[in-house]
Amino acid sequence: MKINSASPLETCVAAPPPAPPPPLPPGIAQVTASYSADFSAVDLTIGGNVDSAALSAFVQDFKLQVSKTWGIPLDKVVVKSVTVNGKIIAVSRRRSALEDSYELGEAARVLLEPLRGMGLTRLVQVGQEELATVESIAALQAQEAALLALLASPKALRSLGTHNARRSIAAGDSASLDFSVTQIIEVPLPPSPPPNPPNAPGPVAPGAAASNLVGAPSRQVLKVSVCQPTQRLSLAWVPEKFQGPRFVMVSFDSPPTVASVEGVAVYLLNIGRLSPVITSIQLMVIPSGQVKARSVTVFNSSTAAAPSLVCPGISRFAVSGRAASLAAGLTIRKFNTAVVQSVRIDFDGSAVPSVGGLPYVAAVGLVVA
């Protein structure tokens, strides 16, 4: 037998594998949460047999609605199994265990209101969120690809015993979807270097006199009656006057739960010339049963008006549980039972001629009910 070797023009070279996505920047991570959704009064069978085209269209429409409603990429909504009239259609022939499931809070259910038009009757989260990796996301997407191929094959569906699926003539078909959603969340930034010791009068280094924020305002602070930059720097934390990031983070020895926190209190001795003075406030919270803290923004000057600043005195920034829980991707219950580890306050980074144009922060605390 003669075997012809390939000429250079006929040689096929395998394409290199796609490059892995770049690592996420500091302070950002991905988490995957699993859910189970139940539907009723849907049309997925013809003559007792599951209609492949109808089921495939139903799953794709479901993915699109979740993607649009939650504002996340379509490929991060992964359907893992489908059940039609009690018949499970899954690559692994297993559904998610519902022992550790719970109903979503009202705030999260509002987000999925469009699914009610598809016949949604129940939606629960299954288990706890898990940190997602490139490998875990790829595995989920491969599982879904195999499932979608199965749904697109009438012959394969019949081989799984989906024919003669019982349905109610009056109520239509019932269906359940096990799916996962992978979202990007904020996580604590790497720890900053410890603050420098207090400087002599003059330029102030970032973090200088941060120890002045510890504990309740001192008697000397409470005696200050005029909002002006002539107060001694030893009474407050004052950032650097040059342009650049300005923030301070304060932790608590006895951290409360979010449910008991009504707001963040900032004691100012001088407001300065920055506009806005405070650009954002974040709570670093640890959800119940987890060890990693996540950042939850409770105030952002670009989306909300700041309260009138009191100087000298305490300015209060309210904590809205519903808005913050949605931003963090947590249910109201999980957010309220989380522990507040620390508070981060960011200030405008514009340059000012002197430290007198900067805020003097004498104390930071939590307003607890």
pLDDT digit string, tens, across residues 210-265? 666 667 778 888 888 888 876 566 788 888 888 888 888 888 777 888 888 888 88
Residue 247 and residue 357 share a domain:
yes
14 domain-assigned: no
For residues 77 and 328, which has the higher predicted lDDT (pLDDT)?
A: 77
Residue 51 and residue 179 share a domain:
yes
pLDDT band at 26 (very low <50, low <70, confident <90, very high): low
Residue 261 and residue 161 share a domain:
no
Average the pLDDT over each of 43-47, 298-302, 321-325 and give the range with the smallest value.
321-325
Residue 362 and residue 251 share a domain:
yes
If you average pLDDT over every residue of the chain, what do you get?
76
Predicted model pTM: 0.47
Question: Which residue segment(s) compose the domain that 260 sits in?
Answer: 210-368
What gap in Å lies between CA 4 and CA 88, rounded to an integer? 51
Q: What pLDDT score does 278 carry?
A: 92
Residue 232 and residue 335 share a domain:
yes
Is the predicted pLDDT of residue 59 greater than 90, yes or no? yes
For residues 254 and 267, which has the higher predicted lDDT (pLDDT)?
A: 267
21 domain-assigned: no
16 domain-assigned: no
Helix ranges (DSSP H) in 76-129 = 106-111, 113-116
**CATH number for position 334:** 2.60.120
Parallel, antiparallel or unpaired: strands 313-318 and 173-186: unpaired
Residue 238 and residue 143 share a domain:
no
For residues 210 and 94, which has the higher predicted lDDT (pLDDT)?
A: 210
74 domain-assigned: yes
The distance of Cα 229 from the centroid of its chain, to the nearest Å, equals 39
344 domain-assigned: yes
pLDDT band at 62 (very low <50, low <70, confident <90, very high): very high
Residue 288 and residue 176 share a domain:
no
Domains of the chain: total: 2
Residue 309 and residue 220 share a domain:
yes
Residue 174 and residue 263 share a domain:
no
306 domain-assigned: yes
Over residues 11-24, mean pLDDT: 57
103 domain-assigned: yes
Strands (E), the chain: 28-42, 45-46, 49-50, 77-84, 87-90, 101-103, 120-131, 173-186, 246-251, 261-270, 278-286, 294-300, 313-318, 339-347, 360-368
204 domain-assigned: no
Residue 170 and residue 266 share a domain:
no
Q: Are the CB atoms for 236 and 362 separated by under 8 Å?
A: yes
CB count in 10 Å sphere of residue 10 = 8
Dihedral over alpha carbons 315, 321, 323, 327 (to 10 degrees): 100
Q: At what angle do helices 134-151 and 52-70 cross, to 10 degrees?
A: 150
pLDDT, one tens digit per residue, over 136-177 is 889 999 999 998 988 888 877 776 555 445 555 556 788 999
Over residues 13-37, mean pLDDT: 70
Residue 170 and residue 134 share a domain:
yes
Q: What percent of the chain has pLDDT over 70?
A: 71
Residue 359 and residue 242 share a domain:
yes
